Amino acid sequence: MKALAMLTRREFWEHRNTFVALPAIVVAVLFSVMLLGMAYTPPSINFSVQGNIDSDDFSVQSNIPPGGNQQQYEYHRDFTGTWATLLVTQLQATDSDTRAQYLSVGLRTIEGILSLILYLVTLSFLLNCLLTDRRDRSILFWKSMPVSDRATVLMKLFTAVIAVPLVYFAGIAAIQVSWLFLLSLSTAGTELSAWETIWAPAQLLTHWLDYLALVLINILWCLPLWGWLLVVSAYAKSVQLIWALGGPIGLIFVERLVSDQGRVQGWIIQHCSPITRSADMSDQLLSINMLSALIAGAAMVALAILLRGRADEL
Partner 1 sequence: MSTVIEAQGMSKSYGNFNALDKISFSIQAGSIVGLIGPNGAGKTTTLKALLGLIQFEGDLSVLGADPRKSRHSLMERVCFIADVGVLPRWLKVSNALDFAAEVHPKFNRQRAEKMLAATNIPMNKRVKQLSKGMVTQLHLSLVMAIDVELLILDEPTLGLDILYRKSFYERLLNDYCDKQTSIIISTHQVEEIESLLTHLLFIDDGQIILDSAMNDLASQYAEVLVSPDDWARADKMAPIYSRDLLGKKAMIFENVAADNLAILGDVSVPSVADLFVAKMRNNGGVK
Q: Which residues bind partner 1 (CB under 8 A)?
A: 2-3, 5-7, 9-10, 13-14, 133, 136-149, 309-310, 312
Least distance in Å: CB of 134 to partner 1? 11
Helix (H) or strand (E) holding 99: helix 96-128
Least distance in Å: CB of 21 to partner 1? 13
Q: What are the E-state strand segments in 1-72?
A: 44-49, 59-62
Coil, strand or helix at 60:
strand
Least distance in Å: CB of 143 to partner 1? 6
Residue 217 or 302: which CB sits closer to partner 1? Answer: 302
Least distance in Å: CB of 208 to partner 1? 31
Dihedral pair phi/psi, residue 62, rounded to 5°: -125, 150
C-alpha distances out from residue 257 to 185, 242, 251, Å: 62, 21, 10
| CA dihedral (242, 247, 250, 256) positive or negative | negative
Residue 108 or 134: which CB sits closer to partner 1? Answer: 134
Closest among 43, 83, 277, 90 to 179, alpha carbons compared: 83
Spatial separation of the C-alpha atoms in residues 138 and 94, rounded to whole Å? 60
Residue 2 or 263: which CB sits closer to partner 1? Answer: 2
Residue 5 or 213: which CB sits closer to partner 1? Answer: 5
Least distance in Å: CB of 154 to partner 1? 13
Long-range contacts of 248-252 (CB under 8 A, 24+ apart): 248/272
Residue 11 or 111: which CB sits closer to partner 1? Answer: 11
The answer to whether 299 touches 227, Cβ cutoff 8 Å, is yes
Least distance in Å: CB of 12 to partner 1? 10
Spatial separation of the C-alpha atoms in residues 288 and 286, rounded to whole Å? 7
C-alpha distances out from residue 121 to 158, 168, 220, Å: 14, 11, 18
Closest among 166, 160, 48, 179 to 109, alpha carbons compared: 179
Coil, strand or helix at 62:
strand
Least distance in Å: CB of 149 to partner 1? 7
Residue 66 or 146: which CB sits closer to partner 1? Answer: 146
Least distance in Å: CB of 243 to partner 1? 21
Closest among 244, 241, 249 to 269, alpha carbons compared: 249
Residue 56 or 312: which CB sits closer to partner 1? Answer: 312
Residue 138 or 276: which CB sits closer to partner 1? Answer: 138
Residue 133 or 255: which CB sits closer to partner 1? Answer: 133
Instruction: Tell me the chain's radius of gyration from C-alpha atoms.
Output: 24
Least distance in Å: CB of 1 to partner 1? 10
